[in-house]
Structure 1
Amino acid sequence: MKKFYFLTADYYHPDTVLRPGLEAAFGTENCVYVNDPAEIPWDTLSQDAAFLLIAKMDDYSSQLGHPRYEELFAPEADWMRPEWAAALERYVSEGGGFIALHSGTLWHEDSDMARLTGGYFLRHPPQCNVRVVPTIEHPITEGVEPFTANDEYYMCRVYGDHVKPLALAWSPEPQGEPTVVAAWCREVAWGRVAVLTPGHTLDAILNPNMTRLLQNAAKWVTKTC
């Protein structure tokens, strides 16, 4: 039986938040949770994985001026090897499922992973109350109600011609910030990609509507809905 693979955790996004949210949505049976990307079977994903979810930032370039960059960030930076990215793209193209959750959008600008994901993280203001509202009827948004959670208000560059926006987000607190795409999906050859940008806090990732988004995204990318 194929397993659900979860690659999680980085300096700013610990498993103390991610694991409770993911286990609330998926449990532990038939699930493989890892922090080390070398533990993902990149070359045999088609045989081993029902889907792969990534919630682990790759691009630490925004921290380059930090006085402790080499100690804190350099070991985790740029973990996605070109051969792994190529293997993931091949897996998706051949019919596999890929979900990018929150920090799983922190890819380098216009990289292969950013293009596969359909966009990449740009910035966020300080944590605030973020309102997430589904905007279209889609299997990923089925049963999902608008919700508000204290979270990081992610702003991403989205390749609009290549994705289907599913939900928008905004906040009244950091004045002047734009409404943003909070969730989107795309089809890549025979496979599917889903992206959910909320999820920095327990308040967000344990929200029942976020749980539903995660479960629906998994069903959609695995073509079981």
Structure 2
Amino acid sequence: MTRILSALLLLAPLHAAKADEKVDPYDQSKVALEVEPPADFKGKRILVIAGRQSHGPGDHEFFAGCAILCNLLKQTDGVFPIMARDGWPKNEKLFDSADCILMYMDGRGGHPVVQGDRMKLIQKQIDRGCGWVNLHYAVDYLPQHGKTVLGWMGGYYEPNYSINPHWDAEVRALPKHPITRGVKPFTIRDEWYYGMRFPDDTKGLTPILQALPPDNTRNTEYTKGRKGEIETMAWAYERPDEAKGRGFGFTGGHFHRNWADENFRRVVVNAILWTAKVEVPEAGAPVKFDPADLNKNLDKKGKGEFKPILPPEPKK
């Protein structure tokens, strides 16, 4: 597994934190929510929606992860991230002005977007060319919803067809695409889903992250029939509609610690910019990061929190 040089991240008991720690890792009150840009703003608006609390400490930290993504997006000029929480913005009008909608949350039958008539609201945004990004569990849809999502981002996780093991994905090569600018091959452990449901016609679809999973992780009929095959864990989609909208699916993001990896961060930020039709710099988007941010804005789930631990000093 790739070593994260900036910090080695471990779950540690709360009492192990420094006594003089001034940051409450569970204080989310300082994150600005549903704040729009000034009236004269001419750039791109990114609506970043964090799901409700899910899983244990350090896993599915949707709120903290979205807060990190907003800080990263602010490093690109002309981009204004607007964060909402609990799976859906209180102000639904934010959808109408978004250039890209990002969802990082629980999916399947509990997916916020499949409740009531919300898919019709999102279809309206898709039809005008709005970008659509789903991270981790948010790519998971039931088949009756997934058929629509295929038109939004070109693929989705289908229960009992796709699979979601924890494994070390070794990304050895990357395609030439704006999303991969500045991204180097990397290896990182995550709950990388694979065996996605893709359409028969893959025009407009570009695999972005691919790796060879262990065959012993193939536990659905579809994935069992693909032993030894390279699998796709992230993909870009250029929609064939008149508005030429774009979508991106990314199956990683289970472990909060992975935001400390520069390549992991950059491929996601590049993708958000690309779906919003922002020109991605040749060297990739700026993704400066303080590892201490991993221990901020966490959901209060139990007795653990992330504590950055510096690598040992080299021997003289």
| Pairwise same-fold verdict (TM > 0.5) | yes
**Equivalent position amino acid for 1:117 in 2:** M
- Which residue of the other structure, out of 251, 254, 259, is the alignment partner of 1:205? 259
Partner residue of 1:85? Answer: 119
Moved over 3 A (4+): 27-30, 40-44, 171-178
| 2: CA distance, partners of 1:151 / 1:37 | 22
Partner residue of 1:32? Answer: 82
Partner residue of 1:159? Answer: 199
Answering whether residue 100 of structure 2 is matched by residue 51 of structure 1, we say yes
Partner residue of 2:185? Answer: 146
Residues 78 and 172 of structure 1: CA distance in aligned 2, closer, same or farther (over 3 Å): closer
Partner residue of 1:132? Answer: 171
Partner residue of 2:132? Answer: 98
Unmatched segments (≥5 aa) in structure 2: 1-40, 219-226, 280-316
Residues 20 and 114 of structure 1: CA distance in aligned 2, closer, same or farther (over 3 Å): same
Kindly report the root-mean-square deviation, in angstroms, between the aligned alpha carbons of the 2 structures. Answer: 2.8
SS at match of 1:120: coil
% of aligned pairs identical? Answer: 22
TM-score, scaled relative to structure 2: 0.57
TM-score, scaled relative to structure 1: 0.77
Task: Please state how far the C-alpha of 1:41 moved relative to its aligned partner.
Answer: 4.8
**Equivalent position amino acid for 2:107 in 1:** D
SS at match of 1:104: helix
Bigger radius of gyration: 2
Task: Please state how far the C-alpha of 1:35 moved relative to its aligned partner.
Answer: 2.4
Unmatched segments (≥5 aa) in structure 1: 61-76
Count of residues in Structure 1 that have an aligned counterpart in Structure 2: 207
**Equivalent position amino acid for 2:169 in 1:** V
Partner residue of 1:7? Answer: 49
Answering whether residue 163 of structure 2 is matched by residue 123 of structure 1, we say yes
SS at match of 1:183: strand
**Equivalent position amino acid for 1:34 in 2:** A
The one-character-per-residue Cα deviations of 1:159-183 (angstroms, maximum 9, x if unpaired) are 2524222221234485666531122
Partner residue of 2:15? Answer: none
Structure in which a larger fraction of residues adopt strand: 1
